[in-house]
Amino acid sequence: MKNEQSLSPLQQQLRAARLERQAAGRDPALHAARQALKTFQAARLARTHADLLAAPDTRQAAEFFLEELYGAHDLSQRDTDLERIAPTMQRVLPADALQTITEAMQLDALAERLDTAMAQLLGSRFSEADYIQAYRRALTPDERARQLALVQALGDSLSQLVRVPMLSGTLALMRGPARLAGLGSLQQFLERGFSAFKRMNKPRDFVAAVTGRERLIMQRLYEGHPAPFDIS
């Protein structure tokens, strides 16, 4: 196995996310707490961004963010797929596409670490008030700001990526070989993100809406606002 110094930035982020998930999986109580936390956060995000989920122009992008980046479903197969194909991706993908995937995995690795920190305080049964208290205790504002900066960077990269000539055709051509190679989960992830952003008229406006709302909620949480999620 390669040591950490010999891994590419993409491989480093993939390994970090995978190890975080594997460590939690070995502790049944922590695993249950993390799943409960992810379910709570996904439901909260769906409420906050209900208009983006309902609008035809932004629905697919909102679903991609909520399910692929914040979802509670098992990502172990995607982890395996990505680590297997990472060296090939680095050879054949355009630099912009590789950067976007690396940013997605960097966000994933950070989110996993932050979720573990909160889950260790919350357990598998908690109220919204418990969540708010754990949010303030487990993580610093700088850590949360870093997470939102990565969301912003990923969204901006996807917005730029859909303008790369011929990339849509390249992904379509990869579909069959990826399925035969057992990389269908990875292919679905890549195509879903690309397609969701390509169909939007103003993808950067979508990214600004999501990150703007989340920054406001973060500020209200740390300021002790009595209803931090009520920003409508």
Residue 232 maps to a domain: no
Neighbouring CB atoms inside 10 A of 189's CB total: 19
Q: What is the pLDDT along the chain (232 residues), one digit of tens a residue?
A: 444 445 577 677 777 777 777 777 788 999 899 999 999 999 999 999 999 999 999 999 999 888 876 665 555 666 666 666 666 666 666 677 777 777 777 887 888 889 999 999 999 999 999 999 999 999 899 999 999 998 888 888 888 777 665 555 555 555 554 454 444 455 566 667 777 888 888 999 999 999 999 999 999 999 999 999 999 7
* Residue 2 covered by a domain: no
* C-alpha torsion sign, points 119, 120, 126, 127: negative
Residue 180: its pLDDT value, please? 45
Is residue 210 domain-resident?
A: yes
By the 8 A CB rule, do 151 and 187 touch? no
Q: Is residue 102 part of a domain?
A: yes
In a domain, 130, yes or no: yes
**Token pair 């956060």 in the structure block, residue:** 41
In a domain, 116, yes or no: yes
- Kindly state the tokens that stand for 38: 């992810």
Instruction: Evaluate whether residue 1 is within a structural domain.
Output: no
What pLDDT score does 223 carry?
A: 95
Residue 180 burial (CB count, 10 A):
9
**Cα gap 144→146, rounded to integer Å:** 5
Within 8 A by CB and 6+ apart from 148, the residues are 211, 214, 215, 218
Predicted local confidence at residue 100, as pLDDT: 74
pLDDT of residue 3: 46
Q: Is residue 148 part of a domain?
A: yes
In the prediction, which pLDDT does 135 show? Answer: 95
pLDDT score for 182: 47
**pLDDT at site 196:** 82
Q: Which structural domain range is residue 151 located in?
A: 17-223
Q: How many structural domains does the chain have? A: 1
With a threshold of 0.85, does the pTM exceed it? no
> What is the DSSP-derived secondary structure letter of residue 6?
G
